[in-house]
Amino acid sequence: MKLSLPRFDRAPVLVVGDVMLDRYWHGGTSRISPEAPVPVVRVEQIEDRPGGAANVALNIAALGAPASLVGVTGVDEAGQSLSDSLAAAGVQAHFQQIERQPTIVKLRVMSRHQQLLRMDFEEPFETDPAQLLASTETLLSGVKVLVLSDYGKGALKNHQALIQAARAKGIPVLADPKGKNFEVYRGATLITPNLAEFEAVVGPCIDEADLVAKGLALIEQLDMQALLVTRGEHGMTLLRPGCPELHLPARAREVFDVTGAGDTVISTLAASLAAGEPLPQAVALANLAAGIVVGKLGTACISAPELRRAVQREEGSERGVMTLEQLLTVIEDARAQGEKIVFTNGCFDILHAGHVTYLEQARAQGDRLVVAVNDDGSVSRLKGPGRPINSVDRRMAVLAGLGAVDWVVCFPEDTPENLLAQVKPDVLVKGGDYGVDQVVGADLVKAYGGTVKVLGLVENSSTTAIVEKIRSR
């Protein structure tokens, strides 16, 4: 299955559900309390993060997709903290605020990146279902997917009315279910229970065949189009009537904290479907996203560049020959990681030891090396009839095989100035015995604050000399 990152900026999603505030108290601990056998934490930092349905909306926004949120809070400091955090992230929040009921807060006491204690401050909300439905219906016309983020805290009391309102507009409905009554999600496009939630409804699954059979029966029973069961270290399974089951392995390299992983799955799935991805590809992207987020502490989001890098690793496209569009994308991601981009260019018609040494020296000037190669037409104009000896695709393939080279791209002009204007490398490198000001594109690079360097050539190494020697024989 080939993956690519969709246009999330064209994928508006509406989330409706239970919002809460995840609050973290961070501090050091070096002694045991004299009052009881418990560690004493000296609180040094307090951190608030949107949780529950608010975390789903935040994850969608972090991917670059327009996100709207409908939920319920109290009229209190915690509710204001939620509103402020979501607004800062670009989430359009529409809260039903209820007097005399506190916003749900989950407080975690952390020391040395370990959770020592969790305290929950919550009461089930007395939500006004009609007001919640009215807010949802107002927003449905501007979105492509509806997510029901159900934590069983009382915000969602009219699941069926919400599902039917979306279906009437042809909008897919994804639900993250809670409890043992999945009947309330009847008619949803897809639900995403974890294995424990799934087995609590259908009974224990003795093997994968049993899981598949019970899952397909549940899809038929609830008039759904698909079911996604998240299975922890065993990955996830997508089931659809009339289609082979899709089992995806877990992608986590190191599991640090599974808090909020389900939110990441449904948010990435929703944003991908809203962007037009087919369901299997959307599930695969959600699986990659989950593998990233469990390596982070607490309720966390992943960004589009993080997901893009995971896709590139999956597709084996972190290095090698690139189109210009691909090159600009990977450079953007590299810069987001603080990496310095080095650029050099040439014909590289017959690769020799001088080229290899020069490219190794160029790579040492930064973190990533881009090699821009003249296409066949420009080589012929520069070098004369009979050149190039090797076509541009072969020249690029050989360069991509060198350990010093990260990315290879070709350009049709006689000089790389147009390419330089788009790539904007941190360092422009050329080999030769001329001054920096004689390097093509030097003025352009220096104008935006880049560096230009000239490296010496290895003696007795020349493509032209090699060609003449071959011809003379």
Catalytic residue among 22, 150, 176, 263: 263
| CA dihedral sign of residues 256, 258, 262, 263 | negative
| One-character DSSP codes across 241-257 | TTS--EEE----SS-S-
Is residue 174 within 8 A of residue 228, CB to CB? The reply is no
Whole-number Å distance between alpha carbons of 421 and 57: 37
Query: Hey, which residues does 120 pair with through a beta bridge?
Result: 106
Whole-number Å distance between alpha carbons of 432 and 453: 10
H-helix or E-strand spanning residue 228:
strand 226-230
| CA dihedral sign of residues 27, 32, 34, 36 | positive
> Burial of 424 by CB count in 10 Å (0-12 exposed, 13-18 middle, 19+ buried)?
middle
195 is known to lie in a ligand binding site: yes
Half-sphere exposure of 340 (CA within 13 A, CB side): 14
Whole-number Å distance between alpha carbons of 79 and 304: 28
194 is known to lie in a ligand binding site: yes
Q: What is the CA radius of gyration of the chain?
A: 28
Is residue 215 within 8 A of residue 229, CB to CB? The reply is yes
Catalytic residue flag (residue 120):
no
Whole-number Å distance between alpha carbons of 118 and 416: 58
Where are the strands (E) in 33-180, listed by range?
A: 39-52, 67-74, 92-98, 105-111, 114-121, 145-149, 173-176
Is residue 345 within 8 A of residue 374, CB to CB? The reply is yes
| Active-site annotation, residues | 263
- Show binding-site residues for ATP: 194-197
The annotation places the binding site at 194-197
